[in-house]
Copies of this chain bind each other. A is one copy, B any other.
Amino acid sequence: MSFYQRLNAAWDRSGSMLCVGLDPDVSRFPTSMRGSVDAIENFCKAIVDATGDLVCAFKPQIAYFAAVGAEKQLENICEYIRAKFPDVVLILDSKRGDIGDTASLYAREAFSRYGADAVTVNPYLGTDSLEPFLKTPGKGTIVLCRTSNAGSSEFQSLEIDGEPVYLRVARTAATKWRSTGECALVVGATYPDELAQVRAIVGDMPILVPGIGAQGGDINAVIRAGATRPSSSPASQATTKAGTTRPNSSAASRAANFAARRGLIINSSRAILYASDGANFATSARDVALATRDAIIAAG
């Protein structure tokens, strides 16, 4: 099964474009686990159990594991996700970028060691640095395009012949990289105008959107700017239009509304993971994930 097929199946089965980011910060763990590096695995597994039916993807951020020497725990968490929620897409967020031979090793890290379906990578070194990822059959290569941080414009928005670098990245993704493998892009929720520009260039290519939740990105703006609308469902477009005025909570219209939208993997990490620091942290995480999923479905 290709990465695109897996992702489409995950959207269909879950009815959700929400991705939960696994950023285990031991200093923000529930009181009973706080500060314990050994608790990372149990914390993440509890979040996975509590939210697995609400998401299209999980996205562990490897820095949280690498900083404290918890790679083995990350291996176990990835294995757990694949076993418990085999239809959920597993994205390793490692933003790797290196030359040929070294890039091949990073591809091996993501796809073999951690069994990820997709990995985030950095385009600065050029196409040859991305090829080991793009050429891995059945795997997704999610290239940084316009990142969610305040300083992302410094290089990403430099203009070449009137076109910013991030649109050059999007154009290269839509042509060269897509012809080589299963490419996707990262565009921050904090830049909805740029997201709309990227969407206009890349057609139905999947876009990973970090930056809602703790970073303050607006879900309505993200959906309007970045969601795709399959041409086969004109009826649901009407439903979507109705949904722009207020969230619609009935399951049927929610499903119809969702059926009209695809194309985004909308990530939230901290707002879900640290919804509560009490013994009920997993339940609280589920509540926030559910509300976020529904806000995404109702948005427009």
Distance in Å from the Cβ of A75 to the closest Cβ of chain B?
Answer: 8
Q: Is the CB of A113 within 8 A of B149?
A: no
- A251 at the A/B interface (Cβ < 8 Å)? no
Complex Cα distance, B69 from A42, in Å, reads 21
Smallest Cβ-Cβ distance to A125: which chain B residue = B147
We find that the number of chain A residues with CB closer than 8 angstroms to chain B is 53
State the oligomeric state as a number of copies.
2
Majority SS at the chain A contact face: helix
- Give A96-153 interface residues, CB cut-off 8 Å to B: 96-103, 105-106, 108-109, 112-113, 122-129, 144, 147-153
A169's contact among B67, B155, B160, B172, by CB below 8 Å, is which? Answer: B155
Chain B residue contacts of A123, Cβ below 8 A: 124, 155
Contact with B along A228-265 (1 / 0, CB 8 A): 00000000000000000000000000000000000000
The CA-CA distance from A99 to B269 in the complex, in Å, is 14
Render A83-100 as a binary contact track against B, CB cut-off 8 A, 1 for contact: 000000000000111111
Find out whether the CB atom of B99 lies under 8 angstroms from the CB atom of A147.
Answer: yes
Given contacts A126-B152, A152-B125, contact A66 B158 (CB under 8 A): no
Nearest Cβ in chain B — how far from A296, in angstroms?
Answer: 22
Let me know if A156 is at the binding interface, CB within 8 A: yes
16 contacts between A and B (CB under 8 A): A64-B102, A66-B105, A67-B112, A68-B113, A69-B75, A69-B113, A97-B97, A97-B122, A97-B124, A97-B144, A123-B155, A124-B144, A126-B147, A126-B156, A129-B147, A129-B151
